[in-house]
């Protein structure tokens, strides 16, 4: 489990928003099947769109891990029970748009693979840990290409609560081969660094996922304080491990001297 327990009334909040939508807009859920494989199999074929299905040579195994879109109806009790499987996984988004399910799926499917530095890779925008940084990194045109006339993209954040991203609702043509420039790619690599560090701390036996949002905030703060270009191999992980053991969040302004004191002692130990 990678994020905090969802707030108790998270589905009720979703139902209330759906009921308040004007008739011209619909709400669709975007669920990242990578975290609960085969979840889509519990839904009828005519009521879902698998984003990976549009990719060449998509296998059954890939479909089972695919992000997928489904319409959200507040009265659907079966869907509410199914959503219980998503608790504590960064996999739930709600998108408000006038587009049909099929057209929104085509729009988003084209962004499942993007090109950067001459290579193509899986663009993890359905992972809600990545979503905010992804939309921030994209240009206005790229955001319009992936969201189109959608006016709101809500998602369950690391603390288990809904976060709302208001969108301009701009029409844009579908893009065949999305591309990221060097700056965009670098910003997304930086955004994922704390999660990669948490995974390595977990490999060292630390229970960093008991309170994931707090652990992520602590490691993020640790990485901001450390000048990576001056650190020897392994030092960043050791620094994050030391700070995680302290179990105390510092203000960013206080972190640099804490790091410097630790680093001086670390070098002496070597």
Q: Whole-prediction pTM value?
A: 0.92
Dump pLDDT digits (tens) for 235-264.
889 999 988 888 766 666 678 888 888 888
Domain chopping of the chain, boundaries = 10-179, 187-269
Dump pLDDT digits (tens) for 79-128.
999 999 999 999 999 999 999 999 999 999 999 999 998 889 899 999 99
Query: What does the mean pLDDT of the chain come to?
Result: 91
The answer for residues whose C-beta is within 8 angstroms of residue 209's C-beta and 6 or more apart is: 1, 2, 198, 202, 215
Mean pLDDT of 52-62: 86
* pLDDT above 60 (res 229): no
């Amino acid at each position: 489990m990678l994020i905090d327990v969802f707030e108790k009334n998270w589905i009720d909040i979703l139902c209330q928003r759906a009921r308040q939508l004007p008739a011209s807009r619909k709400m669709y859920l975007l669920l990242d099947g990578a975290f609960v494989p085969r979840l889509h199999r519990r839904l009828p074929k005519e009521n879902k769109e698998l984003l990976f299905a549009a990719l060449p040579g998509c296998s059954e195994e890939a479909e089972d891990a695919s992000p997928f879109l489904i319409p959200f109806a507040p009265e659907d009790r079966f869907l509410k029970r199914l959503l219980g499987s998503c608790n504590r996984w960064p996999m739930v988004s709600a998108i408000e748009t006038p587009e049909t399910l099929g057209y929104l799926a085509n729009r988003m499917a084209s962004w499942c693979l993007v090109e950067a530095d001459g290579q193509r890779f899986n663009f993890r925008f359905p992972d809600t840990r990545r979503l905010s940084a992804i939309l921030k990194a994209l240009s206005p045109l790229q955001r319009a290409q992936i969201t189109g006339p959608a006016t709101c993209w809500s998602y369950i954040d690391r603390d288990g609560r809904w976060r709302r991203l208001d969108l301009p609702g701009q029409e844009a043509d579908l893009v065949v081969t999305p591309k990221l420039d060097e700056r965009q790619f670098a910003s997304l690599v930086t955004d994922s660094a704390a999660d990669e560090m948490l995974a390595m701390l977990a490999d060292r036996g630390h229970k960093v996922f008991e309170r994931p949002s707090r652990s992520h905030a602590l490691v993020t703060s640790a990485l901001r304080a450390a000048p990576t270009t001056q650190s020897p191999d392994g030092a960043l992980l050791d620094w994050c491990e030391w700070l995680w053991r302290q179990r105390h969040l510092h203000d960013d302004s206080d972190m640099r001297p804490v790091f410097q004191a630790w680093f001086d002692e670390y070098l002496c130990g070597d």
